[in-house]
Chains A and B, each alone.
Chain A
Amino acid sequence: MPRYYTEEHEWIDVDGDVATVGITDFAQGQLGDIVFVEVPDTGAELSQGGDAAVVESVKAASDVYAPVDGTVTEGNAQLEEDPALVNSDPEGEGWFFRMTLSDKSQLDGLMDAKAYKAFCDAL
């Protein structure tokens, strides 16, 4: 299952027409202790680069953007009870939401793991 990354530090796992989205380990490290996550409602229509979710650390609220166009099929309900999952397992149990993909060609504009690592190293 290929994993893509955005310059906004989201990851997206694609499985057929469905994708799982979260924020990267680098992003959680920058944010610090996560105390609240607001995931999108099921059925929400997302457009690439638009607001999709909000993640709040002790210090500040940050937007999480939709990596591609699509429709939300599920938000991660576990984050409501345990937002710190984003710190402890950002690229696993700490996923934010699942979505259908309406334009798979948008994935071509995203980074793979190697390109994302180089992107972070250059920051």
Chain B
Amino acid sequence: MSESEDVIEEVATEVLPLDAWHRAKGARMVEFAGYWMPIQYEGIMAEHLWVRENAGLFDVSHMGQLVLSGDGVADAIEALVPGDIAALKPGRMRYSMLLADDGGILDDLMITNTGRGLYVVVNGAVKWDDIAHLREHLSDSIDINLLDEDGLLALQGPRAVDALVALGIRPEFDDILPVDQLVFMQAGPYKWGDIRLGISRSGYTGEDGFEISVAAEHIVALADALCALDMVKPIGLGARDSLRLEAGLPLYGHDLDEDIDPVEGDLAFAISKRRREEGGFPGAPRILGHMADGAPRKRVGLLVDGKMPVREGAKLFDGNTEIGVVTSGGFAPSVGAPIAMGYVPTGLSAPGTAVAAEVRGKRVACTVTAMPFIPHRYVRKQGA
């Protein structure tokens, strides 16, 4: 070796609690967000379609699970996110975004009021940055705990609820609803035998489903028990990406980043009426200005003519004028055609607008379309 001695030490890719389990199931492992993760087992297409019809088990233990606690924690976090967290009742959760001072999105996240604090799930790739940002901006009276000894599973698909019922999961306390009576964006503490689980009815596939937080020491037993059911198969990151794309859900670091604000990202739904009126979140002048007058650009869905996939990085054109860029795209198994999402000027963001994407020097006709591409099937109300 003739290289200098002081080369930057490479950070080793980390191993998640289910690593050996994935490999034993035949997963192809790739590096993602600093971890070895399963990209696929039997194949992305089959796994994707399985989730739309049955139930798929995703290991999302790379994501950051945080608990923020202390007096006034909801008010404190509202200084950093634009969502209505103060009004979040115990057992309820909300999608929000961590914002930079200029209103750019540092991360998107899920915030649950556990009754004793806020349980926050953040993206794996930026979790350390998020923690640093939270620590810097929250007062010392707010505790931040990273649940680094807990794994996170997502069980997604129309039969996910049957799978949890079949496992005999029960509420930890009398005032907690049976797991099958939770509605979308509701959460609570549950038990599987003696093992404690934090379960929410949520996910990122557009299907009904659950996310399950479990101690790392029990995650293999839980994954085995779920996959022993005939309706559950393990599903890799590849299908997770194609499912969320069809559901019109943005992926941080691709469809959202620190240059994009919530209005540009088409996420203004996550800013409640009270927060719009009161402001008081980072970048409020820019964001409220964009809400009132329109943002210069907007995240849109694109239907792609023909069969050639249009992928992240493809430039978008209106005639000969470059107008934007594709931020996610690929073949959509449930649509049966290529789809994409990307940014275009707001004036060209109406559904039906014709634009073109450039792929390998060729122009591909695309049509701006409303998202999701596949209707969401969240369980929002329990019957009668």
**Which residues B168-190 have CB closer than 8 A to chain A?**
none
Q: Known contacts A58-B45, A58-B242, A58-B333; is A35 also within 8 Å of B307 by CB?
A: yes
**Which residues B229-277 have CB closer than 8 A to chain A?**
238, 241-242
Q: Check B309–A61 contact: CB distance below 8 A.
A: yes
Query: In the complex, what's the smallest C-beta–C-beta distance from B52 to chain A, in angstroms?
Result: 14
Q: Check B40–A56 contact: CB distance below 8 A.
A: no
* Interface status of B120 (Cβ within 8 A of chain A): no
The CA of A26 and the CA of B182, in the complex, are separated in Å by 46
For B43, give its contact among A32, A38, A61, A80 (CB under 8 Å): A32
Q: Check A59–B308 contact: CB distance below 8 A.
A: no
The CA of A32 and the CA of B330, in the complex, are separated in Å by 14
Could you say which residues of chain A place their CB within 8 Å of the CB of B308? 36, 38, 56
Q: Check B307–A59 contact: CB distance below 8 A.
A: no
Residues 290-321 of B, flagged 1 when their CB comes within 8 A of A and 0 if not, give 00000000000000000111010000000000
Q: Known contacts A58-B44, A58-B45, A59-B44; is A36 also within 8 Å of B330 by CB?
A: no
Q: Check A33–B307 contact: CB distance below 8 A.
A: no
Query: In the complex, what's the smallest C-beta–C-beta distance from A35 to chain B, in angstroms?
Result: 4
Q: Which residue of A lies closest to B307 (CB)?
A: A36
Q: Check B331–A58 contact: CB distance below 8 A.
A: yes
Residues 41-61 of A, flagged 1 when their CB comes within 8 A of B and 0 if not, give 000000000000010111111
* Interface status of A83 (Cβ within 8 A of chain B): yes
Could you say which residues of chain A place their CB within 8 Å of the CB of B48? 58
Could you say which residues of chain A place their CB within 8 Å of the CB of B311? 60-61
Query: Which of A33, A35, A58 has the most chain B CB atoms inside 10 A of its CB?
Result: A58
Q: Check A59–B333 contact: CB distance below 8 A.
A: no
**Which residues B25-49 have CB closer than 8 A to chain A?**
39-40, 43-46, 48
How many residues on the A side are at the interface (Cβ–Cβ under 8 A)?
14
Q: Which residue of B lies closest to A38 (CB)?
A: B308
Could you say which residues of chain B place their CB within 8 Å of the CB of A38? 308, 360
The CA of A32 and the CA of B308, in the complex, are separated in Å by 16
Could you say which residues of chain A place their CB within 8 Å of the CB of B39? 59
Query: In the complex, what's the smallest C-beta–C-beta distance from A68 to chain B, in angstroms?
Result: 23
Could you say which residues of chain B place their CB within 8 Å of the CB of A32? 40, 43-45, 238
The CA of A38 and the CA of B362, in the complex, are separated in Å by 12
Q: Check B43–A35 contact: CB distance below 8 A.
A: no
Could you say which residues of chain B place their CB within 8 Å of the CB of A61? 309, 311
Q: Check A58–B360 contact: CB distance below 8 A.
A: no
Could you say which residues of chain B place their CB within 8 Å of the CB of A83? 307
Could you say which residues of chain A place their CB within 8 Å of the CB of B242? 58
Could you say which residues of chain A place their CB within 8 Å of the CB of B45? 32-33, 58
Could you say which residues of chain A place their CB within 8 Å of the CB of B241? 59
The CA of A58 and the CA of B338, in the complex, are separated in Å by 9
Q: Known contacts A56-B331, A58-B242, A58-B331; is A33 also within 8 Å of B43 by CB?
A: yes
Could you say which residues of chain B place their CB within 8 Å of the CB of A80? 307
**Which residues A7-57 have CB closer than 8 A to chain B?**
32-33, 35-36, 38, 54, 56-57
Q: Check B238–A35 contact: CB distance below 8 A.
A: no
Residues 319-359 of B, flagged 1 when their CB comes within 8 A of A and 0 if not, give 00000000000110100001000000000000000000000
Query: In the complex, what's the smallest C-beta–C-beta distance from A51 to chain B, in angstroms?
Result: 9
Q: Which residue of A lies closest to B39 (CB)?
A: A59
Q: Check B309–A35 contact: CB distance below 8 A.
A: yes
Query: In the complex, what's the smallest C-beta–C-beta distance from B237 to chain A, in angstroms?
Result: 9
Query: In the complex, what's the smallest C-beta–C-beta distance from B63 to chain A, in angstroms?
Result: 21
Could you say which residues of chain A place their CB within 8 Å of the CB of B338? 35-36
Query: In the complex, what's the smallest C-beta–C-beta distance from A52 to chain B, in angstroms?
Result: 13
The CA of A56 and the CA of B45, in the complex, are separated in Å by 13
A sample of 11 cross-chain residue pairs with beta-carbon separation below 8 angstroms, ordered by A number, consists of A32-B40, A32-B43, A33-B44, A35-B338, A36-B307, A36-B308, A58-B44, A58-B242, A58-B330, A59-B241, A61-B311
Which 6 A-B pairs have CB atoms at the shortest separation, nearest pair first?
Answer: A35-B331, A33-B45, A58-B44, A58-B331, A36-B307, A56-B309
Which A residues have a C-beta under 8 Å from some C-beta of B? Answer: 32-33, 35-36, 38, 54, 56-61, 80, 83
Known: A38-B360, A58-B330. 9 other contacts (CB 8 A): A32-B238, A33-B46, A36-B307, A36-B309, A36-B331, A58-B242, A59-B44, A60-B311, A61-B309
